[in-house]
Amino acid sequence: MKEITTKEVEQLIAGGKNINIIDVREVGEAAEGRIKGAVNIPLGLLEGRMPDLDKSKEYILVCRSGGRSGRACQFLNSYGYKVINMAGGMLSWEGKTE
């Protein structure tokens, strides 16, 4: 499974890179603060939302600590999606949130 650090994600955002972030935390968790532009799709709803995802795009998956997003990465990868797990999750995130 591919991984990216929180610092690398911050650098991509700061550099104006167009990235696709999916936050797989529950709605209440994501409401406490998420990375700007991240789309909240709770892990339990991910399978049903797969048709909304574009297999030609790469997605960075985020959760609280990196565990749920890691499982989500394995799941989506098995269906041919290009995904990267943000190691450490929001617990390691030091950038801005919305």
pLDDT tens-digit map of 65-95 = 999 999 999 999 999 999 999 999 999 999 9
pTM of the model: 0.97
pLDDT at 85: 98
For residue 40, which of 62, 19, 70, 14 has the smallest C-alpha distance?
62
13 in a domain, yes or no?
A: yes
Report how many domains make up the chain: 1
Instruction: Name the strand (E) or helix (H) holding 3.
Output: strand 3-4
| Residue 8 lies inside a defined structural domain of this protein | yes
The pLDDT of residue 96: 92
**Is 97 part of a structural domain of the chain?**
no
- Respond yes or no: is residue 73 known to be catalytic: no
Position 29 scores a pLDDT of 96
Residue 98 domain-assigned (yes or no) = no
pLDDT of residue 7: 97
| Catalytic-labelled residue, pool 9, 38, 46, 63 | 63
Question: Tell me, what's the pLDDT at 41?
Answer: 98
Q: Exposed, middle or buried: residue 41 (CB in 10 Å: 0-12, 13-18, 19+)?
A: buried
Does residue 12 belong to any structural domain of this protein?
yes
Residue 67 within any structural domain of the chain: yes
In which domain, by residue range, is 51 found? 3-92
Task: Report the distance separating Cα 87 and Cα 45, nearest Å.
Answer: 21
Tens of pLDDT, residue by residue over 1-53, are: 999 999 999 999 999 999 999 999 999 999 999 999 999 999 999 999 999 99
Tokens representing residue 71 in the block: 């499982």
Q: Domain of 53: which CATH number?
A: 3.40.250.10
